[in-house]
Structure 1
Amino acid sequence: MTKWVYSFEHGKAEGDAMMTALLGGKGAHLAEMSSLDLAVPPGFTITTGVCDFFYANGKQLPPDLDGQVEAALERLKAVTGRTFGDAQKPLLVSVRSGSRASMPGMMDTVLNLGLNDVTVESMAAETGDKRFAYDCYRRFIQMYGDVVMGVDHELFEEIIDNAKADAGHDQDTGLDADDWLSVIARYKALIREELDEDFPQDPRLQLAGAIKAVFASWMNQRAIVFRSINNIPKDWGTAVNVQAMVFGNRGEQSATGVCFSRNPSTGKRGLYGEFLVNAQGEDVVAGIRTPQDLTEEARLATGSDRASLEKLMPDAFEELERNVAVLERHYRDMQDVEFTIEDGKVWLLQTRSGKRTAKAALRIAVDMAEEGVISRSEAVCAVEPATLDQLLHPTISEGAERDVIAQGLPASPGAATGEIVFNPDEAEKIAAQDRPVILVRVETSPEDIHGMNAAQGILTQRGGMTSHAAVVARGMGKPCVSGAGMLKVDYKNNTMTSNGRVFHKGDVVTLDGGKGQVLSGNVEMEQPELSGAFGTIMEWADEVRRMRVRTNADTPKEARAAHSFGAEGIGLCRTEHMFFEEDRITPMREMIIADTEAERREALAKLLPMQRADFVELFEIMAGMPVTIRLIDPPLHEFLPHEDSDVEAVAKGMGIDPDKLKMRATALREFNPMLGHRGCRLLISHPEIAEMQARAIFEAAIEAGKRTGNQVIPEVMVPLVSLKRELDHVKATIDRIAVDVENETGVKLNYQVGTMIELPRAAIRAGEIAEVSEFFSFGTNDLTQTTFGISRDDATQFVPTYEAQGVVDRDPFISLDLEGVGDLMRIAAERGRETREELKLGICGEHGGDPISIHFCESIELDYVSCSPFRVPIARLAAAQAAVRHRAGKTS
């Protein structure tokens, strides 16, 4: 028989903290606290396995569950001296959810279960407090009616409001026993009127209904959204915890509250939190009463005139402080504790690792290591890498008023305010006048790069987390909200419309790239601060990580930013981005529309010194660290104008016939440019392009080496290879140019030629390709596209639905698809190294800054990851955590 129910009571439990997958986080920690001899109301946990059964069997509970629940209730009877459903001395219970990952407020709870018209009178007689008993009963009917029976919560609130108005009070605490009796009668009548059935009086029917309702809440809309945002798998399910009730609403020596063992905003050591006197948990959540501070220090800081728990109930405060200290030492992490005080007695209802700001996380980790509570390696693993984004960009001030216009994807973190501008040329012009702008586009393209560079932030109607706008914005360290589908951008009228509100060019908006929100007007900002704890954690992380961390950088500005964040080289320099700058786009277009090879070479000769100068600066910034330069990748049509007005303007500027330019653009346009004439295919068709770029790289390496005294060893990367013979062909061109440059300069070059592994065939044939390639860099953006057959820019139309319905656990363009794309990477790494033992392996797709993907990269022993500049600290920390956990797995 499957064991569905695990009991816990003072001093012993059937579970422990390691059983979160089975008992959920709350159940596992209730069991652990019980075993620690702490004051935890006794109870039992119904496992996550029942949740699996529930959804696999038409929302029915296992037939043998009733018997196990009855046995657990008998055990509670022996511990508490109370009987569930007894008319004289009833046992009342709470029924709460408990996923293995914390999901605060996302699922349902029922308190005071077991009350009915009979047991409420027994409770009143036993306590000698009718008001208290009737208050508990009305709370139960209200919660059960809402959560289990589905009666609108607002209808119950209307009855309460009317009762307060009739009694002349503005708070629930002003109502007496008769008032609550009247409310109870109205509640019952409401349920009968709404559902044509009576409120259930049988406690066992009540319990069965509550258990089912809590399991059902695993799939409510807010829980689904929360899981999607926090990457919590749908199949984890929830447990259900049934506990003997303790009452924080027993009078002025009773209370309920939440506390942290350290300040979750600053990380400062010491009890921090709030409480409500004479209240139950739903009062805290409802926010209808102002809570009080736990400590005198906090009360003085807030200027509150209401007594702290430290002064109001000093004995209970000291007991709480002792218990929380025990929990922090035991769990070796800052704890978030829910508690109830009943007639001065402290009861612990839950503990979990507390949510904290990035700033607090760093201080807590460093302080606990220096206090000897945890090791340095544990401190490194205690900080969530993704939260470091909070420290690297300006953010909207906590408590700032938000007038949200639209919701999109949090494509690049940070916040920015500026005037709406719809045209990249105009963005550049206005920004030159020291007026901040937000560039708003339906979607961006490489031609918009100058406007994106000039703007404070970027907003797009279409596109995903790895769209052009998102990738470029992250590289620039600018906030970006992409895929805001509710927006309608109208270039003709220079307007954007959202939910009936129209915004014009020049209107001021604010982007919150961390939340994917577009806000109206100017919103107060906070500037980032890199505290001492940040530097300490980074130093400790660098001591334990194995993989190197490089950056994806196309400009000196990006390279300098990445270098300041600790990048150890450039893993991807996309040379085509350099061609879109104003002084280069014309010769680039001249090259594209040239009729002969001689004309193309003439145009490329104009680009050569420009590219060389770019590479010299990048080599100098990186001061001898590796720099991987990818030869031109996109199809040529991307460099040409396509709108008639743009064609006319460009042709006029170039002094050529507009029809010729238009014909060339039309001839180059491809049905599917992602799979067309680009990358190595373009370099084979037009070897003069590869010749110019290789020469620029090698001449720059020699010049930078002379300037800095550091030998530069450039890594020349050939994109989109699927056949060994493609790489043979392009490498021959590169090697020939290297010999020419050596002969011309008298300087011996040291360089490597490698390829991006971004096509499934390249991964499968990696052993053959490694005969020529000296390094592989996994271009996982394209490898994901070509493996799935999904365009990353179009994925936002259906991938969120896939996530919501459990078709995929997470967006594969954000975190690597480990089973498919990851397996191709593993195959390529193994086969490549079989051929070339010293083969250097890295990743340069956007996944290189994703902690989950970085852990996978450690597992297949890549040499480095490369990411956008502002994700370098995240990658450094994630690589360290991956190394620590990988070593621990090997030794366990």
Structure 2
Amino acid sequence: MAPAQCVHAQRVFHFGKGKSDGNKSMKELLGGKGANLAEMASIGLSVPPGFTVSTEACQQYQAAGQALPPGLWDEIIDALRWVEEYMGARLGDPESPLLLSVRSGAAVSMPGMMDTVLNLGLNDAVAEGLAAKSGDRFAYDSYRRFLDMFGNVVSTLSSSYAQHTPAEYTAIVASSSLVLRAPVGPSINHRYSSSLPWFDASARRRLLRFCGRVMDIPHALFEEKLEAMKAAKGLKNDTDLSASDLKELVGQYKDVYVEAKGEQFPSDPRKQLELAVLAVFYSWDSPRAKKYRSINQITGLRGTAVNVQCMVFGNMGNTSGTGVLFTRNPSTGEKKLYGEYLVNAQGEDVVAGIRTPEDIDTMKDNMPGAYEELVENCKILESHYKDMMDIEFTVQENRLWMLQCRTGKRTGKGAVKIAVDMVNEGLVDHNAAIKMVEPGHLDQLLHPQFENPSAYKDKVIATGLPASPGAAVGQIVFTAEDAEAWHAQGNSAILVRTETSPEDVGGMHAAAGILTARGGMTSHAAVVARGWGKCCVSGCSSIRVNDAEKAVVIGEMVLHEGEWLSLNGSTGEVILGKQPLSPPALSGDLGNFMSWVDAVRQLKVMANADTPEDALAARNNGAEGIGLCRTEHMFFASDERIKAVRQMIMAPTLELRQKALDRLLPYQRSDFEGIFRAMDGLPVTIRLLDPPLHEFLPEGNIEEIVHELCSETGSNQEEALARIEKLSEVNPMLGFRGCRLGISYPELTEMQARAIFEAAIAMTNQGVQVFPEIMVPLVGTPQELGHQVTLIRQIADKVFAAMNKTVGYKVGTMIEIPRAALVADEIAEHAEFFSFGTNDLTQMTFGYSRDDVGKFIPIYLAQGILQHDPFEVLDQRGVGELVKFGTERGRKARPNLKVGICGEHGGEPSSVAFFAKTGLDYVSCSPFRVPIARLAAAQVVL
């Protein structure tokens, strides 16, 4: 957690009565939920009164060893009295009962990752008083919900039952003083009531009591009682249970608590409140919350705020309900309310996916007055926030209450359409629209779609709700853990669940797509998948998931783990088999949007491309040139080429080596011609040969390598073995590569330079505008670069004389060795441009081998030693300082020095922003990340 930049004396902030202590600009302090509750109250919307405990208080809780800091409880009680006075009710008073909700809320939305408690304040006496006022059914439905939620969320302030693997549970039981003598089964299905079938009743009670002391009480144990009650009564829905049924369930739920905890449920409402506040603070560091922050690269937050609010009730009968909606369709961007609601239900029921809710459109018939006010509130909020909003609401006996609003998460397609439409509506200007779209949204739009949707119509085996658009193809898995494991092995997985929960977040992120049997368009699966641009089909009621058998039943068909499935998240179709995909294109709204982006940004965006096909894709995505063309990749394009390379490597004499290079020359020239043609009128930066020569040798054991080399090059066995031994290196990435090859074998640089200049003149003769830039790799001293520049210019003069024509060109270098950045002024005397190779610069600055970091980087990230993988997100403090220093030194010696970067960081948004601020001229990234870099470069200007 980041240290507080400013400590506020006030830690508890009120909202309600048409005014509030906070506003929407205070997200860092009040969290997104608290800031927006304060804002809605201030602009006059119907918001149940309450108060927000700040994120700084969460920091103080952490610093106090996970305890409330001194004085905070007194401040909370003062705020509680303010709410009681406003409502004319009191917490714990059976005659005038006040019930509360306690919710988390960080500065950045993290849907479902932290904890919520509803109906807090109930005990036996309060439930009786509530029943006298509002009816038995409502009172005891609320009470049993509270017992379930409190037991699952608050009971121990420890890690959730669902976070542990079966192996960890076995270890917990085996190592405790409560070792069970009954045999422990091979796995624990922690979501269902059959989770402990191999224990007898006594052993099961002892295990549950032990687990209840070290972790939260699993929701499944309460759900077991509910399902058993419905089955005994022959009922399908929770709403069909009678008041007496619900009262009986309350007793059973309290028994679950005693069985698991070994103590009675806390009946003191103030104690309940204290425990709930502590639980929300604790949930900030829950495994699922930390994983979500890691996946989404959320860092630097102070913690979570706690929002305590007067309860309003959607479970008071058919004139009450609860819902979630977006002011526009978050998947497509269409200007139409998009959401769902449930009659006679409470807030968490909609997003939990336990019941499939109704479309928001039907509310206009069922609750016309509340619906009309809701529509008006949506207009007010969009106009006020100037963005698409995500809204939670409750209707209590036909009165509308606004419970939350926030900027709505959306897909890439939705984001671009909403931005363009709002400009057309006059709601925002171009600059505001550019800031509304995240770089990750464009990444989603560049994902493949199905090649021919009409071709698979006979393979559609089920249809659910189109919860998050796009196409996904993968093999079926049934657990989040398996999805992560398959992804780690390079396999594409479709995660199939009855419904997802926050504990599944890692597997949801790893999966190519998500399919659920239950849940609506605003369920947990749908909201999280849309935020990531992950294809999701939810509420597919025709499927039955059998986790134990790792099978899903669809009609008469049974599919097992590992079978191929395709999902169309735009239509909700579930398709049998592996359907072909095709790449997307920049057009329509996206084309308009990107024209606004390009008008704002100052940093040029180029692409890394090694073939004419790559170059064309880069140009279609808006690249302004090629910033890195790796010549060595061309050598692997055919057997003839790689054989010629190997002959060059194995040649014992200059004469034989030159002969092999002469064979390579036309291949190189032809490739350069294709790239120049594709990039007509734009610069092309070509890097001379960089990798160690051993990378061009065959793979296999030594006998196989020798045999293949002898047959390809005509060498005998002794010559081949001797040459292999000479090429072998202890640390090849720091060895005989880059400019060291060109200096040791100048004929290699000569051949590549000749191919470039001959191709440039040939294309010029065909009317193509060419701007070649030759880049010398792995330079560490000015002498190295000077040697190669002299050689290249000599070849240029010879080619120009022979072909009786000249072309303009530049010679520069990659800055990828830290020493080169430190002596950049000396190197700039020979270089007309610098291109920072941030992949190798990161490798050499950290002393990390890119090929081996996978062994320890995950540990570093998990323990907070590193905030990001430095090969994905630029290390601005270290590597970034070298980039700044090298740029300043280089331009001091050569003021018109062109400077860019060509590592993978060139397409990472935060890194692009850093390069723009540092004053670089361009970034170069993969062709498919070019639009992302263009947007990031524009946003840093605004």
Structure 2 partner of 1:708: 767
Pairing 1:686–2:692 present: no
Pairing 1:258–2:324 present: yes
1:96–1:110: 8 Å Cα contact kept in structure 2?
Answer: yes
> Structure 1 residues 868, 97: CA separation in 2 closer, same or farther (over 3 Å shift)?
same
Secondary structure, aligned partner of 1:201: coil
In 1, Cα distance between the equivalents of 2:488 and 2:900? 24
Equivalent residue for 1:599, pick from 645, 656, 662: 656
> Structure 1 residues 49, 523: CA separation in 2 closer, same or farther (over 3 Å shift)?
farther
In 1, Cα distance between the equivalents of 2:798 and 2:887? 33
Pairing 1:640–2:713 present: no
In 2, Cα distance between the equivalents of 1:276 and 1:520? 32
In 2, Cα distance between the equivalents of 1:748 and 1:290? 71
| Cα deviation, residue 775, structure 1 | 0.7
> Structure 1 residues 528, 749: CA separation in 2 closer, same or farther (over 3 Å shift)?
closer
> Structure 1 residues 96, 549: CA separation in 2 closer, same or farther (over 3 Å shift)?
same
1:633–1:678: 8 Å Cα contact kept in structure 2?
Answer: yes
Pairing 1:65–2:121 present: no
Pairing 1:141–2:147 present: yes
| Cα deviation, residue 642, structure 1 | 4.1
Counterpart mapping for 1:311-322 below 5 A: 311-322=365-376
| Cα deviation, residue 170, structure 1 | 2.1
Structure 2 partner of 1:578: 634
Structure 2 partner of 1:780: 838
| Cα deviation, residue 343, structure 1 | 0.7
Q: How far does the alpha carbon of each residue in 1:563-592 deviate from its partner, in whole angstroms, 9 at most, with x for none?
A: 111211100000111112222111111111
Structure 1 partner of 2:201: none
In 2, Cα distance between the equivalents of 1:416 and 1:58? 41
Pairing 1:9–2:4 present: no
1:254–1:342: 8 Å Cα contact kept in structure 2?
Answer: yes
Structure 1 partner of 2:666: 609
In 1, Cα distance between the equivalents of 2:473 and 2:637? 38
Structure 2 partner of 1:99: 106
Structure 1 partner of 2:407: 353
> Structure 1 residues 411, 146: CA separation in 2 closer, same or farther (over 3 Å shift)?
closer
2:475–2:563: 8 Å Cα contact kept in structure 1?
Answer: no
Secondary structure, aligned partner of 2:124: coil
Seq. identity, %? 53
Counterpart mapping for 1:390-409 below 5 A: 390-395=444-449, 403-404=476-477, 407=484
> Structure 1 residues 49, 799: CA separation in 2 closer, same or farther (over 3 Å shift)?
same
> Structure 1 residues 30, 570: CA separation in 2 closer, same or farther (over 3 Å shift)?
same
In 2, Cα distance between the equivalents of 1:161 and 1:510? 31
Equivalent residue for 2:875, pick from 814, 817, 820: 817
> Structure 1 residues 391, 596: CA separation in 2 closer, same or farther (over 3 Å shift)?
same
| Cα deviation, residue 520, structure 1 | 10
1:92–1:245: 8 Å Cα contact kept in structure 2?
Answer: yes
Structure 2 partner of 1:826: 884
In 1, Cα distance between the equivalents of 2:97 and 2:822? 68
Secondary structure, aligned partner of 2:766: helix
AA in 1 matched with 2:742: L
| Cα deviation, residue 65, structure 1 | 0.4
Pairing 1:131–2:137 present: yes
In 2, Cα distance between the equivalents of 1:579 and 1:511? 36
Equivalent residue for 2:93, pick from 74, 86, 95: 86
Q: Which runs of 5+ in 2 are unaligned?
A: 1-7, 156-215, 451-469, 495-511, 513-533, 535-549, 551-561, 570-574
| Cα deviation, residue 87, structure 1 | 3.4
Secondary structure, aligned partner of 1:589: helix
1:642–1:665: 8 Å Cα contact kept in structure 2?
Answer: no
AA in 2 matched with 1:172: D
> Structure 1 residues 744, 819: CA separation in 2 closer, same or farther (over 3 Å shift)?
same
Structure 1 partner of 2:728: 669
In 1, Cα distance between the equivalents of 2:95 and 2:449? 58
2:486–2:493: 8 Å Cα contact kept in structure 1?
Answer: no
Paired residues in the alignment total 780
| Cα deviation, residue 133, structure 1 | 0.6
Equivalent residue for 1:742, pick from 787, 795, 800: 800
Pairing 1:871–2:929 present: yes
1:95–1:242: 8 Å Cα contact kept in structure 2?
Answer: yes
Q: How far does the alpha carbon of each residue in 1:381-422 deviate from its partner, in whole angstroms, 9 at most, with x for none?
A: 2111222233223247569885037546989999899xxxxx
In 2, Cα distance between the equivalents of 1:172 and 1:411? 40
Q: How far does the alpha carbon of each residue in 1:10-63 deviate from its partner, in whole angstroms, 9 at most, with x for none?
A: 311111111111111111111111111111111111111122222222211101
AA in 1 matched with 2:445: L
Structure 2 partner of 1:221: 287
Structure 2 partner of 1:41: 48
Secondary structure, aligned partner of 1:883: coil
Q: How far does the alpha carbon of each residue in 1:623-655 deviate from its partner, in whole angstroms, 9 at most, with x for none?
A: 121110001000111111242334423422333
Structure 1 range deviating more: 138-147 or 393-402: 393-402
AA in 2 matched with 1:375: D
1:552–1:866: 8 Å Cα contact kept in structure 2?
Answer: yes
Q: How far does the alpha carbon of each residue in 1:117-140 deviate from its partner, in whole angstroms, 9 at most, with x for none?
A: 11111111222x111011111111
1:641–1:665: 8 Å Cα contact kept in structure 2?
Answer: no
In 1, Cα distance between the equivalents of 2:234 and 2:731? 72
Counterpart mapping for 1:389-428 below 5 A: 389-395=443-449, 403-404=476-477, 407=484
Q: Which runs of 5+ in 1 are unaligned?
A: 296-307, 418-456, 458-478, 480-498, 500-506, 885-892
In 1, Cα distance between the equivalents of 2:566 and 2:343? 40
AA in 2 matched with 1:628: T
| Cα deviation, residue 719, structure 1 | 0.7
Q: How far does the alpha carbon of each residue in 1:132-171 deviate from its partner, in whole angstroms, 9 at most, with x for none?
A: 0111111111111111111121111111112222333222
AA in 2 matched with 1:241: N
Secondary structure, aligned partner of 1:125: helix
AA in 2 matched with 1:369: V
Equivalent residue for 1:569, pick from 625, 638, 645: 625
> Structure 1 residues 142, 229: CA separation in 2 closer, same or farther (over 3 Å shift)?
same
In 2, Cα distance between the equivalents of 1:360 and 1:413? 29
In 2, Cα distance between the equivalents of 1:256 and 1:413? 42
In 2, Cα distance between the equivalents of 1:230 and 1:614? 40
Structure 2 partner of 1:789: 847
1:52–1:235: 8 Å Cα contact kept in structure 2?
Answer: no
Structure 1 partner of 2:175: none
Structure 2 partner of 1:184: 250
In 2, Cα distance between the equivalents of 1:736 and 1:94? 78
> Structure 1 residues 97, 569: CA separation in 2 closer, same or farther (over 3 Å shift)?
same
Pairing 1:111–2:118 present: yes
> Structure 1 residues 399, 645: CA separation in 2 closer, same or farther (over 3 Å shift)?
closer
Q: How far does the alpha carbon of each residue in 1:452-481 deviate from its partner, in whole angstroms, 9 at most, with x for none?
A: xxxxx9xxxxxxxxxxxxxxxxxxxxx9xx
Secondary structure, aligned partner of 1:45: strand
AA in 1 matched with 2:63: A
Structure 1 partner of 2:758: 699
1:394–1:414: 8 Å Cα contact kept in structure 2?
Answer: no
> Structure 1 residues 621, 508: CA separation in 2 closer, same or farther (over 3 Å shift)?
farther
In 2, Cα distance between the equivalents of 1:657 and 1:416? 48
AA in 2 matched with 1:820: G
| Cα deviation, residue 90, structure 1 | 2.2
In 1, Cα distance between the equivalents of 2:588 and 2:861? 39
Pairing 1:559–2:618 present: no
2:566–2:579: 8 Å Cα contact kept in structure 1?
Answer: no
> Structure 1 residues 509, 86: CA separation in 2 closer, same or farther (over 3 Å shift)?
closer
| Cα deviation, residue 312, structure 1 | 0.9
Secondary structure, aligned partner of 1:243: strand
* TM-score relative to the length of structure 2: 0.80
Secondary structure, aligned partner of 2:390: strand
| Cα deviation, residue 678, structure 1 | 0.7
Secondary structure, aligned partner of 1:40: coil
2:646–2:709: 8 Å Cα contact kept in structure 1?
Answer: no
AA in 2 matched with 1:102: S
AA in 1 matched with 2:404: Q
> Structure 1 residues 402, 25: CA separation in 2 closer, same or farther (over 3 Å shift)?
farther
> Structure 1 residues 508, 718: CA separation in 2 closer, same or farther (over 3 Å shift)?
farther
Equivalent residue for 2:788, pick from 730, 733, 737: 730
Secondary structure, aligned partner of 1:239: strand
In 1, Cα distance between the equivalents of 2:587 and 2:768? 34
AA in 1 matched with 2:906: G
> Structure 1 residues 658, 312: CA separation in 2 closer, same or farther (over 3 Å shift)?
farther
